[in-house]
Amino acid sequence: MDRFAVMRTLVSVAHAPSFSAAAAELNISPSLVSRHVADLEQQLGVRLVNRTARSVTLTSDGAQYAEFAERILAEIEEQDAGLSQTKRSAEGRLSIISPKWIGLQELGLAIGAFRHEHPGIRVKLQLGGVSDRLHDFLDQGFDIAFHARHPADSRVKVRRITELPFMLAASQAYLARRGSPAAPVDLSDHDLLTHTGDPVWHLGQGADATRLRVQDPAVTANAYSIIEQMIELGCGIGHVPRTLVTSSPRAAEVVEVLPERPPPSRSLYAVHAPGDSTPERVKIFLNFVTDWFKQAHSA
């Protein structure tokens, strides 16, 4: 028995003079109306309708239950309409999870710009705690997760947002004290600063590409912002996002190391739930942040 279907039938019977009239309103047969009422009476264990040859009237129990059913069905319709409207409009809550080093850089600025244009969307941003299992963010209640590695998983949808350029950098003071490396092999004679999730450095491209596993780094941290600060303080050579250096007030004190062999850029991806019913707020945000990064990196 479809409980909501029989409740709708009883509500129609309450407002109609006969089963036939109720059936016409519901676009079903009178016999199905009668069966719905009988099924509901059996389920509840009480008589809901008095039937005579000329009319159908509700018992006191029937009138009470019909009023209850009408209220419940109205609340369901209201909730359904609200959710449908939220899906179609730029309103509601948007939950995002991102690695710290991405969220602490341009993503925060992009979200700020997004809020100015779409004040009806409230954003929750969590930095850190991104699972290696790509679909876990959905179980955690997030709409979008950002990754800097291609998320090959058929259980999620993937949007490439932008390219994130990296660089080897050191302060002018450090290089004046220790000398500038002329080739990747020379890096072993320097104090190296690494991210805990980035122990292998890739330098150059094509035939000139070099893979360097950093051994015994001078400083290891789980935030690129810390590595960049160590670079400015003259602690060594670090592998960091380029925008982290160029946006620093002390950028003039930092020099690119081995500029002829720059590290490859990394793609920034946004993943969200699969299916055809992507909420409008998710679509709007992904379109906005893609355009924002395009403009920011072309400036």
pLDDT in tens, 180-228: 999 999 999 999 999 988 899 999 988 888 999 999 999 999 889 899 9
Residue 70: burial class (beta carbons within 10 Å; 0-12, 13-18, 19+): middle
Whether 155 and 293 map to the same domain: the answer is: yes
Number of independent structural domains in the chain: 3
The pLDDT value given to residue 134: 73
Does any domain span residue 261?
Answer: no
Please, what is the average pLDDT of the chain? Answer: 88
Whether 142 and 278 map to the same domain: the answer is: yes
DSSP string, 107-134: IHHHHHHHHHH-TTEEEEEEES---SST
Residue 82: pLDDT band by 50, 70, 90 thresholds? low
Does any domain span residue 189?
Answer: yes
Residue 129: pLDDT band by 50, 70, 90 thresholds? confident
Tell me the percentage of the chain whose pLDDT exceeds 70. 94
**Backbone phi and psi for residue 47, each to the nearest 5 degrees, phi listed first:** -85, 130
pLDDT in tens, 117-126: 999 999 999 9
pLDDT in tens, 138-167: 888 999 999 888 777 667 889 999 999 999
Question: Helix (H, G, I), strand (E, B), or coil: what is residue 220?
Answer: strand
Report the C-alpha gap between 198 and 222 in whole angstroms: 9
Residue 286: pLDDT band by 50, 70, 90 thresholds? very high
CA 298 to chain centroid: 25
What are residue 93's DSSP bridge partners? 122
Residue 299: pLDDT band by 50, 70, 90 thresholds? low
The residues near 162 (Cβ < 8 Å, ≥ 6 apart) are 267, 268, 290, 293, 294, 297
What are residue 94's DSSP bridge partners? 123
Report the C-alpha gap between 189 and 178 in whole angstroms: 9
- Cβ-contact 216, 273 below 8 angstroms: no
Helices (H) then strands (E): counts for the chain = 11, 14
- Cβ-contact 290, 163 below 8 angstroms: no
Position with higher pLDDT, 98 vs 133: 98
Tell me the percentage of the chain whose pLDDT exceeds 90. 48
Which of 87, 117, 139 finishes a domain? 87
Whether 145 and 188 map to the same domain: the answer is: no
Whether 151 and 199 map to the same domain: the answer is: no
Full residue range of the structural domain in which residue 283 is found? 91-164+266-298
Q: Which residue has tokens 């893979």?
A: 211
Instruction: Compute the average pLDDT of residues 264-283.
Output: 88
Q: Which two tokens stand for residue 6?
A: 């029989």
Report the C-alpha gap between 297 and 78 in whole angstroms: 44
Q: Which pTM value belongs to this model?
A: 0.63
